[in-house]
Amino acid sequence: MKIAMWSGPRNLSTAMMYAFANRPDCAVVDEPFYAAYLALTGLDHPMRAEILAAQPQDPAEVAQALSGPVPDGKAHWYQKHMTQHMIAGVPRDWMRDVVNVFLIRHPARVVASYAAKRENPTLDDIGFRQQAELYREVLAFGGTPIVIDSHDIRENPRDMLEKLCDSIDLPFSEAMLSWPAGGHDSDGVWAPHWYGAVWNSTGFAGAEGPLPSLDAEAAALVAQALPFYEDLSSAKLR
């Protein structure tokens, strides 16, 4: 089984990748379209040169690899994808051959976390609009997209991961609830900039508290993203 997990940044996506990576039957890949996205857009992200050197910059080459055999002879392949990477010029036909899961998080939490790592994020940077677009695209080609909220996972990891596995016909594994500290050998080259907290973890963090307080600019960005989040939230696993 190939599982494409779609989220924006700062959305429990790396912890989820570690959960699946800790299954003995599962290979993982970390944001395979990142270099292609930077090459196509010219955006200046942290560690841009290293990312461009570490991954294929041709999105067609990436898509072909994602459609190929599961690495390392594993039964399953967990693919961590950022929705904002799926811009014009990035193939999407391969999405018909994977199980598409959408990992959502309240935009106030995303914006607060993202702004601490990269200044002045825009709506396109945080991926909510693209996430809703991809969700509708999966529906349009007759797929069955699954939606899960990172808040619910942190509140009850076992329950929500069991529900996720059941929804995609994958047996739940106890191994998904913890992982070794220090990162994973599949981490993208950008991990030193973004993954500090999850590198220090050995499992999912506890339940989240109240939504963060934001300044006017950040609050305006949240207001733009909120309708996309609420649209997918109405379909989430409960």
All domains of the chain in start order, with CATH: 2-233 (3.40.50.300)
pLDDT of residue 10: 86
Please indicate, yes or no, whether the overall pTM of this predicted structure exceeds 0.85: yes
Least confident of 30-44, 110-124, 125-139: 110-124
Query: Got the DSSP string for 164-211?
Result: HHHHTT----GGGG---SS--TT--TTHHHH-HHHHT-SS------SP
Q: How many CA atoms lie within 13 A of 221 on its CB side?
A: 23
Name beta bridge partners: 5.
Answer: 80, 101
pLDDT of residue 115: 77
Reported as a pLDDT band with limits 50, 70 and 90, residue 4 is very high
Percent of the chain clearing pLDDT 70 (strictly above): 100
Query: What is the identity of the amino acid at 74?
Result: K
Q: Are 118 and 46 in contact (CB under 8 A)?
A: yes
**Taking CA 97 as the corner, what is the angle to CA 1 and CA 53, rounded to the nearest 5 degrees?**
85
Separation CA 143–CA 37 (nearest Å): 25
Q: Are 231 and 103 in contact (CB under 8 A)?
A: no
Segment 179-203 mean pLDDT: 94
pLDDT of residue 77: 98
pLDDT of residue 58: 98
pLDDT of residue 120: 80
Reported as a pLDDT band with limits 50, 70 and 90, residue 114 is confident
Q: Are 14 and 7 in contact (CB under 8 A)?
A: no
Least confident of 12-21, 79-88, 106-115, 142-151: 106-115
Q: Is the pLDDT of residue 119 over 80?
A: no
7: buried, middle or exposed (CB in 10 Å: 19+, 13-18, 0-12)? buried
CA dist list (Å): 180 to 99, 158, 198, 201: 27, 18, 10, 8
Name beta bridge partners: 146.
Answer: 101
Separation CA 141–CA 102 (nearest Å): 16
Q: Are 82 and 31 in contact (CB under 8 A)?
A: yes
Segment 112-136 mean pLDDT: 89
Q: Is the pLDDT of residue 56 over 90?
A: yes
Query: What is the identity of the amino acid at 76?
Result: H
